[in-house]
Amino acid sequence: MSDRKLALAFVFVWFFAGGIAHFVFTASFLRIVPPYVPFPLAAVYVSGIFELLGAAGILVPRTRALAGAGLIALTICVTPANVYTWMHPALFPGISRSLLGARLALQVLLIAGIWWSTRSRKH
């Protein structure tokens, strides 16, 4: 399996599992929604739906690049939740501040992985 396909498989599993988790562990996702976000339950469900749609979209070569762009946009849109957890570590006991910070760094790597794995070789 090529590196690109391995990265694509990782991106698929990340968003497919994450999308399902939004519906199975809804309360956990609600905890990380910043208080300024209106309709937090709807935000959790909508982001879960988009994660599942993006995961499905990257499996189809014809829609892969568009789905990848959508997953990049989604990842950027949910980054404030990770910033919120990092800025308020007391609200998340049992999770070290460095682990919360690492999650932010992972966002950058995830975006790079999405972009690289969903672009055609021509680009």
Residue 108: per-residue pLDDT: 94
Alpha-carbon span 100 to 91, nearest angstrom = 12
Cβ neighbours for 56, distance < 8 A, ≥ 6 positions apart = 67
Tell me the residue length of the chain: 123
What pTM value is reported for the model?
A: 0.92
Cβ neighbours for 120, distance < 8 A, ≥ 6 positions apart = 64, 65
Residue 122: per-residue pLDDT: 65
Alpha-carbon span 75 to 97, nearest angstrom = 21
Strand runs labelled E in the chain: none
Instruction: Using 70 as the pLDDT threshold, list the residues of the chain that sit under it.
Output: 121-123
Alpha-carbon span 115 to 26, nearest angstrom = 28
Classify the C-alpha dihedral 65-7-20-101 as positive or negative.
Answer: negative
